[in-house]
Amino acid sequence: MGPFDKQYTNSTLLKNLYIIRYDVRGCGRSDAPLKQEAYSSKRQAEDFKAVMDAFNVKKPFVATWSLGGIVPADVLSKYGPDSLVGVILLGSFPHRNMHGDVHGNTLQVRSFLCFSKDQTALRWAATQPPAVRQFMLGRSQDETGIISVADRLPITSV
């Protein structure tokens, strides 16, 4: 069971929201190609758009987890400022240049600290091949898309 499975079976949430989830490449149940080009900003944005197109969704509000948090920056850079209506970052950061392993640009987001009582998320993250983390953080990314909408796009970091 994954760390967010309960949200996808919660009857109250399902009555009020259309919920779609997918694992970004290299994470969870998605393929984990061991080639740098498979994790490019362009590929991440195209993967996201393919999922949205498959469900005929326009302008979603996105909740992301861990390294998936950098995908909205890819989407905004490739498809423009009207491609998303909001972002919730769960245990994440808005673009790869904000990750401590890269360096610290700043983008104002509202931050809250949350702690899980169990270690489900930690066990799930441990299944990711180490090379994937390097590919995700080592790739180039144009963060200007997310920075340009930071004053009007709701972005919350939890």
| Choice among 14-18, 48-52, 56-60, 102-106 with the minimum mean pLDDT | 102-106
Q: What is the pLDDT of residues 58-108, one digit of tens each?
A: 999 998 887 788 899 999 999 999 999 998 888 776 766 664 443 333 444
Q: What is the pLDDT of residues 118-156, one digit of tens each?
A: 544 444 445 667 788 788 777 888 888 888 888 888 888
pLDDT of res. 96: 62
Distances (CA, A) of 50 to 11, 22, 24, 31: 27, 11, 12, 15
Distance, CA of 66 to CA of 78 (rounded, Å): 21
The total number of residues shown for the chain amounts to 158
We report the CATH number of the domain holding residue 36 as 3.40.50.1820
Q: Which domain holds residue 43?
A: 5-157
The domain total for the chain is: 1
